[in-house]
Amino acid sequence: MQTFPDSTAVSVVETPATEYTQRTVTVDFLYLDNEACERCVGTEQALETALTRIEPILEPLAVSVVVRDIHVDTLAAAKATQLAVSPTIRINGRDIQPDYRENNCESCGELCACPGEIDCRLWHYRGDEYTTPPVEFLVAALVRAAVPEQSPSDTTRKKAFEGVPANIASFFDDADASEASGCDC
């Protein structure tokens, strides 16, 4: 406890500046098989490439990324992780493409020797479908997570349009008065 000149008692907790300023983005990579499933393997590779590409951007923003590699190997694990489709990438707990599509994944069908088809995720990006997510799609998702959703300039713009500022209202009030008096100013 530290006492300041005005006799106010304040608790001071020392925290390293790096701890205070560092933000963390959590990336969960959930998959059924990252050895035989071509989509899971390709998604993991695309994610690694995307993380490498955004590394120079994150450092000056004081953002770190934690990647959790989650092999969903049982029905209980699928329920616990709420895995709806494989592979899945979640950033800060949210699926980066919640409106997913699926189709037959031959490598997963061969892996489990299941009767019928096993469907895996199709990624859609800029009007096309992919069996693995395009690196550019992943980079964009990671950057959105690393950069705050609303910059101060966005706040200023919203504030400006919440109501017309007095100086703008005055301009139009003065213009209306000038028109009424026949003034051509």
Q: Output the tens digit of pLDDT for each of the chain's 185 residues.
A: 444 444 444 445 565 655 555 789 999 999 988 888 899 999 999 999 999 999 999 988 889 999 999 998 888 889 999 998 899 999 999 999 999 898 888 777 666 666 667 788 899 999 999 999 999 999 999 999 998 666 555 555 455 455 556 666 666 665 555 555 454 54
Residues contacting 148, CB < 8 A, separation 6+: none
Quick check: pTM over 0.75? no
Q: How far is CA 114 from the centre of its chain?
A: 35
- The CB-side HSE value for 31 (13 A sphere, CA atoms) comes to 22
Q: How far is CA 105 from CA 8, 28, 40, 45, 53, in A?
A: 67, 22, 10, 18, 28
